[in-house]
Chain A
Amino acid sequence: MVTRAVAALSRFTIRARCILFAGPSSRHISVASSIMARSHVNCEIKGDVAVIRISDPNSKVNTLSLQMQKEMTEVMDEVWGNSAIKCVVMISSKPGCFIAGADINMIQACKSTEEVTRLSQEGQKIFEKIEKSPKPIVAAINGSCLGGGLEFAIACQYRVATKSKTTVLGTPEVMLGLLPGAGGTQRLPKMIGLPNAFDMMLTGRNIRADKAKKMGLVHQLVDTLGPGLKSPEERTIEYLEEVAIDCARGIVNKKLALTKEMNMMQKIQDHVMSYSFVQNRIYSTVEKKVLKQTKGLYPAPMKIIECVKAGMEQGPDAGYLAESQNFGKLAMTPESKALVGLYHGQVACKKNRFGVPEKEVKTLAILGAGLIGAGIAQVTVEKSINTILKDITEEALNQGQHQVYKGLNDKTKKKSITSFERDSILSNLTGQLDYSGFEKADMVIEAVFEDLAIKHKVLKEVEAVIPPNCVFASNTAALAIKDIAAASKRPEKVVGMHYFSPVDKMQLLEIITTDKTSKDTTASAVALGLKQGKVVIVVGDGPGFYTTRCLAPMLAEAVRVLQEGVDPKKLDSLTTGFGFPVGAATLADKLGIDVAAHMAENLGKAFGSRFGGGNLELLKTMVAKGFKGRKSGKGFYVYQSGLKDINPELKEIVESYNMMPTPAVSSDSDVQYRLISRFVNEAVLCLQEGILTNPVEGDIGAVFGLGFPPFLGGPFRFVDNFGADKLVEKMKTFEEVFGNQFTPCQLLLDHAKDPSRKFHRLIH
């Protein structure tokens, strides 16, 4: 339930999958059919064409590592020196990956801005030579072509890409607090125009092949092939190479034009864009938009704009210089380091540390077709798992099934799936009011009302019909799993699975294990979560687990702030100003004031005065008046026809619980730190108490589940960067005024005492 609203919090997501990072992974040995034996790059000469094949033998993906760059330079020098070669095809022999980006470890290994700047300049130089190659180079792209990989491709004279779903082009650097540092900020605007280039570089989003063709990012598309005399993947790459070779020869024979014929509309557009006042207008619009979205907390987007501007206004030399220098600067910012840390954390939370479960979940039953239940159903049927969605009334069931349909149909509208795929996915869903078919379920997830008695009732009903090896998972935001498991005949099969709403959008899944939960049960829950595409953290059982427990004290503090006379709008701007995607008051409204009150009361009972601060009665009074938040149309705000305004009746309620603010701890900054420090202290306490296994999961859970400011990297990275001593100092000031709600926990104190203690391994 808490989950419902927290949803909106985490709008900022790290989308990049295999951006810049060369992970340790399986070894692929590239087939060396080349005349020169190298480990990463080989070159086969087919008549007048040099086919250069890239494959990093130490990784699943190709990255522009130092070794790759070195070999590429050597090979290109040979190609340029060989008069028999007229043109070049650049292709990867790895399935699903052209080049996924620069090697992030290479950047992380740098100790200074200057060192990173030099890296960038070396990259720029290599790509400049590629761009000026007297022999046309065709980039043949299958799979991810991201970051440095894209910059490489756009330096080539021609690009051919497969229509494979794995083929994506993009500049995800911004999501790591960086910018495209090997010519990307200079070439992209010229190639696809300012608006498209800004869209790509500032959002970091992946562009599919068909879209890339429309944008002018690639020249030609190649279909993926099915079975033939070789595997589809292998033959598709061969086919791509054949087409690319034809293109390369076509360019040499002048049968293929390098510049596309523009239609009248494009000509007009280009002409309009060439006026500097139009360009300036774009810059200022984009800058405004960026500032509004980032609140000035993320340096990378502004630097990207700066680089583009420098190139457009002062010419390429100034542009490339600005790019390399800003790249160096950004790499050293704490924001970039935090974002890179989150990326690594996300990769870690996409693995199942509990091993492979004995039985794969092939049939999942879900109890409760509400928002969460239906959301779980949607992400499950999408993975071709038979899913039973059960409720007790036809009305609720109908609504749940409609939600699943709508979720999928929206994807059809966006053309990410066809209507046929939608129908075929939906065929995995069975909606029903009884327990038929539960005898085949491998796992049951209950998402019924947050009431222990009801949970016990369904647990018993379910256990009467499911097979012995079936896992029973409870989707709860607050009830202790061991209390739910108390009614079970087989507590080792009971686990908590806390989804966040909307389930199809929110990436986090918090799995809760009790002392009795078996390792295989946990492994099974994690495996399902990963299959559903979730980032999974596994935490211990206790009131509020991890996420709810961190959120509660912050919300209690928010209530106190309101009681001190800060209005909801101001409270919201203070929280979003700190980097939360959604303000605290809006969040409470989305969560439901009744839910927040319920949560505060329960956790208050469990943890005592540490969870106090704001007066719970304020929330209860609101509930009594029907101000239950967004869902009832009124909460801290009034919601009418898409608009929201402060609830005029709120003032009276707040005044009856009025508290006098203490000026010494009530500046805007104080208020922000009061809110954040209670969150962070509780997170650290969770680690201290063993609710959390490690700080990485703590950071991931806070960012992806609760919208903790991503540029801070999560509560633990925040402590490391901000300084535990400084935080403790602030908390002690607050403690003097407010008491034990601000008493730093022991682990935080330990870190404050010894500055060398960090939660995360230090990145230079």
Chain B
Amino acid sequence: SMAPVVSTKSKKTLSKTGVKNIVLVDGVRTPFLQSGTTYADLMPHDLARTALQGLLNRTGIPKDAVDYIIYGTVIQEVKTSNVAREAALGAGFSDRIPAHTVTMACISSNQAMTTAVGMIAAGQCDAVVAGGVEFMSDVPIRHSRKMRKTMLSLNKAKTLGARLALLGSIRPAHLAPELPAVAEFSTEETMGHSADRLAAAFGVSRREQDEYALRSHSLAKRAQDEGLLSDVVGFKVPGKDIVSKDNGIRPSSMEQMAKLKPAFVKPHGTVTAANSSYLTDGASAVLIMSEEKALALGYKPKAYLRDFVYVSQDPKDQLLLGPSYATPKVLERSGLKLADIDVFEFHEAFAGQILSNLKAMDSDWFAKTYMGRTSKVGSPPLDKFNLWGGSLSLGHPFGATGCRLVTTVAHRLKKEGGQYGLVAACAAGGQGHAMVIEAYPQ
């Protein structure tokens, strides 16, 4: 393969002497479905298992050639808290492959991938499967703390009298269940509410948000229709039909979208169901290797995974600004400029969040006042940005989105003939992540 003859890039390649090249061999995902639809009766590890099997099929890697498996997830099913292990066993991987599960909100599978990169770079492993899964059709709803305490005491009660006394102590208040909320523990604010405040802070209008959401759905629809979403593997759901497509893509009209009432800040808020990502079921998986190993096994890698950063900031007022902080930092690490990036894939939690980040990145004042930088990094041009749709339209299974972003960058680089791609995402807790990906020479 040959490098382009004339390069306008700051760097010809991000390869560094003495640093192992780490590659993405391939990546797959289950179709992302709105929660409560076809996957409703499954369990999280079923989705993860399907993604793993899809990866096995796609890459044809022997079931014992993998050194390690890592999965990211956010809302844990208590029965399968190490979902990586349960899914790996179920997918038919050798039971000799250790597996662990990581969690870092919406960047959990990013964390799974970078953990894999770290293990390979450290010489611990040569081939690692990383992935993510989220299953919002069934979440752990708990008894109230009072009830749990009573029930636990019940286990220890020795006499019938003691048991009856405990049962008699149950009051209606005990029966109120505890639902998991998409809310910050530290601030008790739901993410949607924070997104609405963020949009207001950056002066992002309702119309801008609806327009952006419409763009996301339209681009996703086109990508789906044109068969560009090749990372999707079909899933034969037991007792149901084969699922082969994401089902949340729904390009609407501005008029229809304008009719919706604000979902979080009432009555004057701007974030609605139509310009937010929705609760999604889905799983993803990628195969990561050292370049040497990949070549030795006869693979043609899709991309190099290069520099990455994690950032964190105030979980109250800057909850969703992770990409603004992470982007300049990762570019600096790799010695690239924003203009060097051919493909941008940003996680779309809310249209208002994306537009706020774009404005923050385009503001010298914000860069100086809050990021301690001398100037702005600049706003990614929209003609390179999330061209195959994003979390708003494709869906956002919290723990699985990161792998989708990375695989999409690799596919788009190939399709569009670009060299460098950038993934960025925000996450609950006021955290963020960005990674630079380099196309594997053709």
Contact = CB atoms under 8 A, between A and B. Distances in A.
A239 B370 contact: no
Contacts of B369: 227
A573 B342 CA distance: 85
A265 interface: no
A418 B318 contact: no
Interface stretch (B72-80, B103-111, B196-204): B196-204
A243 interface: yes
A239 B187 CA distance: 22
Interface in B196-233: 196-198, 200-203
B268 A226 contact: no
A226 B265 contact: no
B268 A229 contact: no
A81 interface: no
Interface stretch (B82-90, B359-367, B418-426): B359-367
A229 B366 contact: yes
Interface in B206-264: none
A239 B201 CA distance: 8
Contact of A229 (B188, B317, B359): B359
Interface in B259-281: 265, 267-268
Interface in B160-206: 185-188, 193, 196-198, 200-203
Contact of A227 (B185, B203, B265, B370): B370
Contacts of A225: 197, 200-201, 317
A246 B186 contact: no
Contact of A223 (B197, B267, B359, B366): B197
Given A246-B268, A420-B185, A420-B187, A227 B356 contact: no
A337 to B, nearest CB: 45
B316 A226 contact: yes
B314 interface: yes
Contacts of B318: 226-227
A501 to B, nearest CB: 33
A232 interface: yes
Given A223-B197, A223-B265, A228 B314 contact: no
A242 to B, nearest CB: 8
Contacts of A228: 198, 200-203, 356, 359-360, 366
Contacts of A239: 200-201
A222 B268 contact: yes
A505 interface: no
A235 interface: yes
Interface string A205-224: 00000000000000010111
A226 B317 contact: yes
A223 B317 contact: no
Interface in B347-373: 356, 359-360, 363, 365-366, 369-370
A227 B188 contact: no
A420 B203 CA distance: 30
A226 B195 CA distance: 11
Contacts of B268: 220, 222, 243, 246
A232 B213 CA distance: 26
A450 B365 CA distance: 56
B363 A232 contact: no
Contact of B198 (A222, A224, A226, A243): A226
Interface string A241-255: 001001000000000
Contacts of A232: 201, 317
A227 B366 contact: yes
Nearest to A230: B365
Nearest to A222: B268
A232 B201 CA distance: 7
Contacts of A246: 268
Interface string A411-426: 0000000101000000
Interface string A371-407: 0000000000000000000000000000000000000
Contacts of A418: 187-188
A229 B363 contact: yes
Given A224-B197, A239-B201, 19 more contacts: A220-B267, A220-B268, A226-B197, A226-B314, A226-B316, A226-B318, A227-B318, A228-B356, A228-B360, A228-B366, A229-B201, A229-B203, A232-B317, A235-B200, A235-B203, A243-B268, A246-B268, A418-B187, A420-B186
23 contacts: A223-B193, A224-B197, A225-B197, A225-B201, A225-B317, A226-B197, A226-B201, A226-B314, A226-B316, A227-B317, A227-B366, A227-B370, A228-B198, A228-B202, A229-B201, A229-B202, A229-B366, A232-B317, A235-B200, A235-B203, A239-B201, A418-B188, A420-B185
9 smallest beta-carbon distances between A and B, as pairs: A226-B317, A228-B201, A225-B201, A228-B202, A420-B186, A243-B268, A223-B197, A239-B200, A227-B370
